[in-house]
Structure 1
């Protein structure tokens, strides 16, 4: 993921950030923001920097304020990627396939609490987990935001409404690949879809932005709005 804001601008992690609370769900510590006590959940699946990233928790609070129960599980079990680590080695121990398996008990635990609808939004690493969930009846809708590791074959296997929000400047998921994703979705009219490439934005723009940069904030908030509108359409 060269040339990406995601890895060039890592967050300062903070377990105390956000207005929600941390609780165990399906065996994983999870940040939960649920002021409305909703029966519709949005699972936010983090990038490699994990669930304590303050901007991710801020987004979870925004999802909660929109009337959903926002859940951000710690898929890395306290061991997120740290800048300077060997990424290949870290990914060997934190594969997206394991993330997919770990998501299943989280979903079952949510259903046992009376949750009736579930959406998954994945960022970078998390997008691969989210798209896997969208291939099965685990979730009712998905959003991939600056995805990594996602293939055209993955998209062809999707069974639920899917939105893809991508960056114009992204070596790992360039516009040419995003257009292939769009073509694959268009070939499946039974699957509602929405694809958007954010001009001038780099990988990580929706989650790893500078809060002092007005244009960066505007672009991130546009992506957040698109994500929320998708879930309102398909989960409410």
Structure 2
């Protein structure tokens, strides 16, 4: 199955992304929108910052939330094969090598630097973080209580979809409103971790929105495969949920 056939072709996912390429804290970055007060840091999954669906989703967020959306390259220019990821042929990808070069320890510092740059260097008043798969752990880290500076959170709100590499410690330390978009079938975000998330956020008294997506699998919110039952609808529902969430918390 080719990338062009597996990914969303309806709704407003056709055509060419309308944003631009620039840099954010020295990272190559796709940027959509132009609101000078509200920013969203979009941390992509293994498809990476150049994947068309990622950029089209950033365009949606920019238009519908009225935000400037930044999608940096956190993989050092490395781009995995879109078709192999979409077809879940992970045995044909060197994922252990990729993660060894782009894992938490290797990339956390630059993810934090890009987030800090939004308020410090660019003057945004409100900043949200959205992360899918790989971007899930990073979004939780950005929203950790320990990273508030002078009483102000590094990011004001997060939304994560099918997170991976997430730890219980990440969940324990969150200090900003959290949205979780959780596919039913997801080995990267297990039932145990889903329950732990739900119970811990209540204990911490953190405002959260947990949305369950029955019958769909990990990566549905980015891939949007029309040949997998319910996946396209899940992608659209997930986008709409994130838009509503960010609209609520990112009013400058």
TM-score tier, shorter chain, comes to 0.7 to 0.9
Q: Give the structure with the higher percent helix.
A: 2
State the match for 1:33 in structure 2.
32
Match of 2:161 among 120, 125, 145: 145
Q: CA RMSD in A?
A: 2.1
Segments of structure 1 that go 5 or more residues without pairing to the other structure are 1-8
State the match for 2:242 in structure 1.
227
State the match for 2:22 in structure 1.
23
The residue correspondences of 1:94-113 to structure 2 (distance < 5 A) are 94-111=102-119, 112-113=121-122
Q: For each residue in 1:58-93, what CA deviation from the matched residue of structure 2 results, as whole angstroms up to 9, or x when unmatched?
A: 100001102011110011121033442321111010
Mapped contact 2:7–2:224 kept (Cα < 8 A) = no
Q: Give the Cα–Cα distance (whole angstroms) in 2 for the partners of residues 96 and 53 of structure 1.
A: 21
Count how many residue pairs are aligned between Structure 1 and Structure 2: 222
**What's the TM-score once normalised by structure 2's chain length?**
0.82
Segments of structure 2 that go 5 or more residues without pairing to the other structure are 1-5, 9-14, 85-91, 149-153
State the match for 1:46 in structure 2.
44
Q: For each residue in 1:187-231, what CA deviation from the matched residue of structure 2 results, as whole angstroms up to 9, or x when unmatched?
A: 011x21111221011000000112577832221111111111111
Mapped contact 2:32–2:69 kept (Cα < 8 A) = yes
Alpha-carbon offset, residue 153 of structure 1: 1.9
Match of 1:184 among 200, 218, 231: 200
Q: Secondary structure at the match of 2:223?
A: coil
Q: Give the Cα–Cα distance (whole angstroms) in 2 for the partners of residues 228 and 97 of structure 1.
A: 30
Q: Give the Cα–Cα distance (whole angstroms) in 1 for the partners of residues 108 and 134 of structure 2.
A: 11
State the match for 1:6 in structure 2.
none
| Structure 2 residue 133 is the aligned partner of structure 1 residue 124 | yes
Q: For each residue in 1:83-125, what CA deviation from the matched residue of structure 2 results, as whole angstroms up to 9, or x when unmatched?
A: 4232111101001233321122222332222211111111101
The structure-2 alpha-carbon separation of the partners of 1:125 and 1:60, relative to structure 1 and needing over 3 Å to count, comes to: same
